[in-house]
Amino acid sequence: MEVAAFLSDKSSAICVVEREEFPFQAWCAESWFIHSNVRFHMPVTHFNIFRRSLSISLQYITKLWSYVTEAVLASGEKLPADVVVVGIGKTNQLTLLHIDPVHIYFMQTNVPRVFAAGDVTSFPVTLFGETTATIRHWQIAQAHGHIAALNMLKKQKALHTVPFFWTSLLGKSIRYAGYGEGYTETVVKGNLEQLEFLVFYIKDDYVIAVASLNFDPMVSLVAEVMYSGRQISKAENLLCPNWLVGAAFHR
């Protein structure tokens, strides 16, 4: 989505193909992009990319160039394209290691003298129960590296951090804190249409993540409360809208 937003004023047309019905649908309005030369094709399970070859001769060198011509969706719809950017993701391949599954404690694996950090690491998100997660953002990778270094120096320390993410889409700066996997409902403060809101992600009647646009510094305050170990209930969210400032500064 960040790539689509960045290219929206640089390309004649942009198509976003996704498996979900709409990316970031809990807080992002499709209308943001429709007015910015971006069109959506979703949900789509798979598509094929087609290309052509072109032979170019320069003096004594002949080069065979291959270039994209179109992407064809599962429905058969054809999307002409000069460039295709694909977010493939990853699947860890551990069979070549000939070892038992890798477990991580204090960013140290069960393989002697081997530590793990960053995007390839599934780690215990201790602030949210005993959930194990992979979170691909540099703030988490930086925290991983810090803890791994301490444990390499025999200063045993567990990871204690609140995932905090931000991005910019078409000049709109989004803040996000927590780990929202498996949320079942949302509570919205503010107004989504007016682009000024705070969204709480709820699971089992407790807040597990929060996102905002033009609602600073609320996401930072929620992150502070989460870091202190206090759980935020759905009930206090609805009944006492001003509880957060006091909770963050008097924890």
Mean pLDDT of the chain: 79
Q: How confident is the model at residue 42, as a pLDDT?
A: 78
Q: Is residue 157 part of a domain?
A: no
93-103: pLDDT as tens digits: 666 665 555 66
> What is the average per-residue pLDDT within 198-205?
91
CATH code at position 238 = 3.30.390.30
Q: How confident is the model at residue 101, as a pLDDT?
A: 59
Given a contact cutoff of 8 angstroms between Cβ atoms, the answer to whether 211 and 193 are in contact is no
* 103 shares a domain with 48: no
- Of 46, 80, 114, which closes a domain? 80
* pLDDT at residue 164 is higher than 70: yes
What is the rounded CA–CA span in Å between residue 216 and residue 207?
18
Q: Is residue 173 part of a domain?
A: yes
* 240 shares a domain with 220: yes
What is the rounded CA–CA span in Å between residue 22 and residue 28?
9
* pLDDT at residue 149 is higher than 90: yes
Residue whose structure tokens are 């081997």:
114
Q: How confident is the model at residue 96, as a pLDDT?
A: 61
* pLDDT at residue 122 is higher than 90: no
* 122 shares a domain with 66: no
CA angle 113, 160, 166 (to 5 degrees): 110
Q: Is residue 158 part of a domain?
A: no
Q: Is residue 74 part of a domain?
A: yes
Give strand ranges (E) for 74-194.
78-80, 104-105, 108-109, 123-125, 131-133, 164-169, 172-178, 185-191
25-65: pLDDT as tens digits: 655 666 666 666 788 877 776 677 666 655 455 455 555 56
Q: Is residue 85 part of a domain?
A: no
**Exposure on the CB side of residue 83, measured as CA atoms within 13 A:** 9
Contacts of 213 (CB under 8 A, 6+ apart): 27, 172, 173, 174, 175, 195, 196, 197
* 108 shares a domain with 74: no
111: domain range? 95-152
- Of 108, 130, 152, which closes a domain? 152
Q: Is residue 90 part of a domain?
A: no
Q: What is the band of 220 on the pLDDT scale with cuts at 50, 70, 90?
A: very high
What is the rounded CA–CA span in Å between residue 6 and residue 98?
43
* pLDDT at residue 148 is higher than 80: yes
> What is the average per-residue pLDDT within 174-181?
91
Give strand ranges (E) for the chain.
14-17, 38-41, 47-58, 61-73, 78-80, 104-105, 108-109, 123-125, 131-133, 164-169, 172-178, 185-191, 196-203, 206-213
Q: Is residue 58 part of a domain?
A: yes
Residue whose structure tokens are 């992002």:
28
Q: How confident is the model at residue 249, as a pLDDT?
A: 45
Number of domains observed in the structure of the chain: 3
User: Could you tell me which of 210, 133, 125, 139 has the C-alpha nearest to residue 175?
Assistant: 210
231-248: pLDDT as tens digits: 888 887 665 556 555 544
Q: Is residue 203 part of a domain?
A: yes
Q: What is the band of 230 on the pLDDT scale with cuts at 50, 70, 90?
A: confident
* 245 shares a domain with 169: yes
What is the rounded CA–CA span in Å between residue 147 and residue 193?
41
Contacts of 126 (CB under 8 A, 6+ apart): 158, 159, 160
- Of 152, 180, 200, which closes a domain? 152
